[in-house]
Amino acid sequence: VIKLDNVTKTYGRGGFFSKQERMAVLKGVSLSLRAGECLGLVGRSGSGKSTLGRIMLGLEAPDAGNVRILGQDVTGCKTLSPKLRRAVQVVFQDAIGSTNPRMTAGEIIAEPLRNFDRLKGQKLKDRIAELLECVGLSPDDANKLPGRFSGGQLQRICIARALAPEPRVIVLDEAVSSLDMLIQARILDLLDSLRHKLGTAYLFVTHDLRLVRRFCDHAFIMSDGTLHAFDPKKMTSLNGVRALEELSQAILP
């Protein structure tokens, strides 16, 4: 459903930055995400994981290379067609920054339902209540503003919003590892059932290797602007730092 070919991205272009300050974040990254597949993406903070996620979703343009969503080349596109916008959803790392503080939870979730499914009235209300329940919140929460939720609750509203249009792909940028264990298990079960029922594909951007081992078919570590594949089922250490070191030693040149 998404295919990247030899994507490069450098920040700090233009006169303002000196040559040393220009930073190649992605140096020729190729990746494909197929229907029903679950990819894990790990790597040090600042290694370019979120950047890659934004480029995959057509939210940011690469400097070179090619991005295809559902077979369509979106590399040079400023905005995606409604069909593609519906197909690819994201839950950002920063739940507060990615929700409008003046919209209630219900309005936030209603937006894709109105835009893509033209739902209104009772049907809209029912679907919002159903989605809130899916992420462990109550229908009454629909009337609350983002400021009245905890960080994890707001994160769950963002997950509900991403699920609302029944997308083909969801990029979860550090979106589930901050949730409590019970809620996390429940949401992972839900994602897994959607993957079997609808063929939804996921990219988990995360520092949580346990999650990668349990849930992902394939995994990559981002380092020095390139992706290195590893088998998530063969990780020995799951202790964050140790595991990352071990992975780096085993995989990186």
240 binds, among Mg ion, ligand ATP, none (CB under 5 to 8 A by kind): none
Closest CA to 52 of 13, 60, 98: 60
Q: Which of 26, 38, 48, 50 binds Mg ion (CB under 5 A)?
A: 50
Which of 47-55, 59-67, 155-163, 228-236 is the region at the interface with Mg ion (rule: CB under 5 A)? 47-55
Nearer to Mg ion (CB atom), residue 160 or residue 172:
172
Q: Per CB under 6 A, does 47 bind ligand ATP?
A: yes
Q: Per CB under 6 A, does 48 bind ligand ATP?
A: yes
Q: Per CB under 6 A, does 62 bind ligand ATP?
A: no
Which of 46-54, 98-106, 132-140, 225-233 is the region at the interface with ligand ATP (rule: CB under 6 A)? 46-54
Q: Per CB under 5 A, does 89 bind Mg ion?
A: no
Nearer to Mg ion (CB atom), residue 94 or residue 133:
94
Nearer to ligand ATP (CB atom), residue 51 or residue 99:
51
Cα 58 to Cα 75: distance, rounded to the nearest angstrom: 7
Q: Per CB under 6 A, does 51 bind ligand ATP?
A: yes
Please report how close the Cβ of residue 59 comes to Mg ion at its closest, in angstroms. Answer: 13
Residue with nearest beta carbon to Mg ion: 50
What lies within 8 Å, CB to CB, of 59 at 6+ separation is 90
Cα 63 to Cα 65: distance, rounded to the nearest angstrom: 7
Which of 47-55, 70-78, 128-136, 241-249 is the region at the interface with ligand ATP (rule: CB under 6 A)? 47-55
Binding site for ligand ATP (CB under 6 A): 11, 25, 43, 45-51, 93
